Amino acid sequence: MVCNIHLMIACMVIAATQAFGQVPAKAVCEVVQDGGFETGRPNATWQEVTTGLAVINIDSLHARTGSWLAVFGGQLFQLLEQSLEQPVLIPPGRAELSYCLRIPESSTDELDRLAVRLDDVVLAEYTTADQPVFAQYVRVVHNLSDWTDGMTHLLRFESSVTGTPVTTFYLDDVSMNLCPSPAPPDLFRFAARWMGAGWTGHDLINLLEAWNVSE
């Protein structure tokens, strides 16, 4: 690697990155397809089942990003059961599931719920009691280290809402990241202090690429 004195710290960090495998070159990090639901409905990657209202909806006002989102519930005076699911191949290594959830309105019925499943395991379940926390979009992250076995698993969101009165769950920006940022080695911590509190190794990679630093 060609370095001058001004890039000495940067080059040290790049060397550590290569040694520790912190930033895989050209890594494929995302395995969920259409996590923002922007291909619309009907959807080729998400299987939707509903006893009433559609789950995938176009609504740029309430989508967190883009124009589409998944809406669970929102139907008055009638039991509504809905689900979205997608098979995902999770290779060995590290993986995280994340999604953005909002509960804009809720009834007092504790039976209203939204569950997040991977295969037969419930990763999380949200009820009307969670509405104050999720009055606006909140990003939720789950560690999937127990599923990084190179096999295909079923990611599923499912809801049951009584409709008396209405409860609504908004879901957007679903992601399964195979490249979560690991804890940095001591050299990374030193560089972070030297370069500023908001610095990350990925930021430095982008900076050096912009400066055309090459091996």
Q: pLDDT, tens digit, for every residue of 45-83?
A: 999 999 999 999 999 999 999 999 999 999 988 899 999
Report the C-alpha gap between 195 and 203 in whole angstroms. Answer: 11
Higher-pLDDT residue of 25, 107: 107
Domain that holds residue 14: 5-22+182-210
Cβ count near 8 (within 10 Å): 10
Q: For residue 52, tell me if it sits in a domain.
A: yes
Within a domain: 39: no
87 pLDDT higher than 70: yes
In a domain, 38, yes or no: no
Tracing tokens 């999937």 back to the chain, one arrives at 144
What is the residue type of 167? T
pTM over 0.75: no
Is residue 10 domain-shared with residue 61, that is, in the same domain?
no
Residue 189 in any domain: the answer is: yes
- On whether residue 30 sits in a domain, the answer given is no
d(CA 46, CA 56): 9
Residues 63 and 12 in one domain: no
Q: What pLDDT digit, counting tens, does each position of 145-161 carry?
A: 999 999 999 999 999 99
Calpha distance 126→189 (Å, rounded): 37
Residues 71 and 154 in one domain: yes
Say how many domains are in the chain.
2
Q: Are residues 88 and 190 in the same domain?
A: no
Residue 196 has pLDDT above 70, yes or no: no
- Regarding whether 99 and 63 lie in a shared domain, the answer is yes
My answer on whether 59 and 160 are in the same domain is: yes
Do 164 and 146 have their domain in common? yes
